[in-house]
């Protein structure tokens, strides 16, 4: 544990960084908050453009990736997913016998180990244009545990004249030997989270040991129970998140009452709690957060660690990981909060992502994005899950409103001012855009890393009675 002097130094570094980013106080999503500073009308670049389409010769985008983001040595079977979609932007050209552009409908595929050539899935047929083809592979097929384990898929046209191929990574890691959780993403479109957690359970297999009670003179046998570590599979329907200020949760733990308690949150249908720190003054208190984890566990809730105030300092991140990573009720990390809005250096989310994965490969990492299309590729690279963080008009979760210094302004006044290009008019449309952007970037590139679509979680925020001020006190995701 570092001294308070080092922590204070870290806070100074964070303050210096934010001071150097004075631009973010005048800009949001690369556009000016007001016209008081004409020279800051907009930040050039950052917009993801649709790739050039060429549909005269159809392309086959052949991909293979694991259904779950990670597998462990406790798993008996892995599931590989194969997509064979026609595309106008990604893949290899499809040619018929003798003439370009001819269409055929059946593709023969085989999946092997890229290192040894061992066959994981023998030759079988799938439909061209299909996706989500699943193949179960026994863990016995893998010659060794590697991170990552590289797999290769081959595809052949009906006459064997054309061969397609691509590779992917399968992440197989050592299972936990002590208490803790493993949280993995179901990478098929629409998939959620699968949570496995290991905790010490008292098994009802008593044994006798001798005892010698000096006070009573009792020398008879004492019956005790063996303690063991075992797995518990959590039902997949964990999707409702209650988020509030961190001090609200800490007060709920220290002084629970009929209106404020973790058990009440659970009784109202929530599965996850997301404590939100004050990014400007926050210092991580391992003791109090550990108490929150313990009480959430008793209430049957999972906990998110929000690192918005610390993710830029990897020493602080290391301390936080040590506190939460081994707890059975810890769910995931949220690092950057709207980095695209504030336009922080685009490499920071990936830098923190890589650091966390080295220390804790068992939990996913989320990043909250505020903009409709501003350096999406760079910021989302540091996430397993993308949080769509827009503010909704009170009473209508389908219509969004910009909350950055203009809560009551629904329509843009100028082409350079927010919310133009910053907040889409509909939350559902934004989520579809984020999925579309992943296609533009190229899902084949994602599958090379063993990934499918990154899930999009919608953060629906609430307002006070006037509907004019955003409050992070309550919300659903």
Among the three residues 173, 199, 218, which one is the final residue of a domain in this structure? Answer: 173
How do residues 320-353 score in pLDDT, each as one tens digit? 999 999 999 999 999 999 999 989 999 999 999 9
Domain count, the chain: 3
Query: Does residue 41 form part of some domain?
Result: no
Query: Does residue 29 form part of some domain?
Result: no
* 209 in the same domain as 130: no
The pLDDT assigned to 121 comes to 97
* 228 in the same domain as 167: no
The pLDDT assigned to 364 comes to 95
Q: What is the CATH number of the domain that holds 290?
A: 3.20.20
The pLDDT assigned to 275 comes to 93
pLDDT, average across residues 82-100: 77
Query: Does residue 132 form part of some domain?
Result: yes
Query: Does residue 26 form part of some domain?
Result: no
The pLDDT assigned to 100 comes to 46
pLDDT, average across residues 24-46: 69
The pTM assigned to this predicted structure is: 0.79
The pLDDT assigned to 450 comes to 62
* 257 in the same domain as 113: no
* 335 in the same domain as 269: yes
Q: What span, in angstroms and rounded, lies between the C-alpha atoms of 333 and 306?
A: 6
* 277 in the same domain as 225: no
In this predicted structure, which of 294-303, 322-331, 464-473 has the lowest mean pLDDT?
464-473
- In terms of pLDDT, which residue wins out, 289 or 399? 289
Structural domain for 202, as ranges: 189-233
- In terms of pLDDT, which residue wins out, 464 or 376? 376
Q: Does residue 148 have a cis peptide bond before it, meaning omega lies within 30 degrees of 0?
A: yes
* 270 in the same domain as 245: yes
Among the three residues 173, 199, 223, which one is the final residue of a domain in this structure? Answer: 173
Q: Flag whether pLDDT at 309 surpasses 80.
A: yes
Q: Flag whether pLDDT at 20 surpasses 70.
A: no
pLDDT tier at 90, thresholds 50, 70, 90? confident
Q: What is the CATH number of the domain that holds 97?
A: 2.60.40.1940
* 160 in the same domain as 94: yes
pLDDT tier at 429, thresholds 50, 70, 90? confident
* 302 in the same domain as 283: yes
Mean pLDDT score across all residues of the chain = 75
Query: Does residue 19 form part of some domain?
Result: no
* 438 in the same domain as 399: yes
Query: Does residue 243 form part of some domain?
Result: yes
Query: Does residue 44 form part of some domain?
Result: no
* 265 in the same domain as 126: no
* 250 in the same domain as 134: no
Q: Flag whether pLDDT at 224 surpasses 60.
A: no
């Amino acid at each position: 544990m570092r001294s308070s002097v080092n922590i204070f130094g870290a806070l100074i570094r964070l303050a210096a960084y934010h001071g150097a980013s004075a631009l973010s106080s005048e800009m949001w999503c690369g556009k000016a908050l007001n016209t008081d500073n004409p020279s800051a009308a907009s930040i050039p670049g950052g917009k993801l453009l649709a790739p050039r389409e060429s549909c005269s010769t159809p392309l086959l985008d052949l991909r293979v990736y694991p259904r779950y983001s990670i597998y462990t040595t406790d798993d008996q079977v892995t599931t590989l997913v194969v997509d064979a979609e026609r595309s106008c932007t990604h893949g290899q050209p499809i040619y018929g016998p003798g003439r370009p552009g001819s269409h055929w409908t059946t593709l023969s595929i085989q999946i092997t180990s890229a290192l040894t050539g061992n066959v994981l899935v023998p030759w079988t047929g799938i439909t061209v244009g299909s996706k989500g083809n699943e193949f179960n592979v026994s863990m016995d097929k893998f010659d060794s545990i590697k991170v990552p384990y590289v797999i290769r898929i081959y595809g052949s046209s009906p006459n064997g004249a054309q061969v397609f191929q691509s590779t992917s990574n399968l992440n197989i890691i050592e299972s936990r030997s002590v208490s803790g959780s493993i949280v993995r993403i179901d990478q098929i479109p629409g998939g959620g989270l699968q949570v496995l957690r290991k905790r010490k359970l008292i098994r009802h297999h008593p044994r006798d040991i001798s005892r010698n009670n000096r006070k009573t003179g009792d020398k008879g046998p004492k019956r005790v129970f063996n303690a063991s570590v075992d797995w518990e599979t959590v039902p997949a329907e964990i999707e409702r998140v209650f988020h509030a200020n961190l001090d609200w949760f800490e007060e709920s733990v220290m002084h629970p009452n009929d209106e404020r308690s973790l058990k009440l949150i659970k009784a109202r249908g929530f599965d996850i709690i997301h404590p939100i720190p004050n990014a400007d003054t926050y210092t991580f208190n391992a003791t109090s957060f550990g108490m929150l984890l313990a009480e959430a566990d008793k209430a049957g809730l999972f906990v998110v660690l929000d690192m918005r105030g610390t993710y830029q300092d990897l020493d602080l991140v290391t301390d936080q990981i040590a506190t939460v990573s081994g707890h059975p009720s810890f769910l995931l990390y949220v690092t950057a909060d709207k980095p695209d809005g504030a336009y922080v250096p685009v490499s920071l989310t990936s830098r923190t992502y890589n650091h966390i994965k080295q220390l804790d490969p068992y939990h996913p990492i989320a990043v909250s994005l505020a903009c409709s299309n501003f350096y999406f590729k760079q910021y989302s690279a540091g996430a397993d899950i993308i949080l769509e963080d827009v503010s909704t008009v009170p009473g209508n979760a389908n219509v969004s409103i910009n909350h950055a210094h203009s809560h009551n302004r629904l329509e843009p006044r100028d082409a350079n001012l927010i919310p133009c290009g910053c907040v889409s008019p509909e939350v559902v449309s934004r989520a579809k855009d984020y999925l579309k952007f992943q296609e533009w970037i190229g899902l084949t590139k994602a599958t090379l890393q063993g990934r499918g679509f990154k899930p999009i979680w919608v953060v629906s925020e609430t307002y006070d009675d006037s509907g004019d001020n955003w409050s992070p006190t309550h919300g659903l995701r």
